[in-house]
Structure 1
């Protein structure tokens, strides 16, 4: 079966066959779980990285800096998408679960 793009279709059949527009705004469970996991592991990486850097675990502070940077990289998207999911759940204007990209 061939793909047909109806975005540029101009016919009366399309207009008459339309149904009412419904918004499916159910929370995406996998995406929210991934965002929360990134947030948790990011916070843990930041905390343990700072502790390792201050206490010079492993002989010097470079291991701690590495873990702190890794925690920061995990923390940023985790915080961003968890915040979007929370605001969409609370019903704030301009936030929707559709703003969270699929996994």
Structure 2
């Protein structure tokens, strides 16, 4: 009999805690979250990116194009955070 009484008390405590939590949640004032700002739709024109596109469209011929080799060197330098090279690579790619 003592087990049943203990189970009933535990159930009553559980229900009381659940009701208290529900009441607290219902009385809480909602603070509106600030609306996320939309990213700017205006694209900045990057001349390096345009030259990369041209080299990409050239396909395998770009591997022998001096200007594309220079574009790739500039891209690599920008990615690695190095200062751009003063001279353009030769036909062998500066190797």
TM-score (norm 2): 0.29
Structure with greater Cα Rg: 2
Greater RCO (CA < 8 Å, at least 6 residues apart): 1
TM-score (norm 1): 0.27
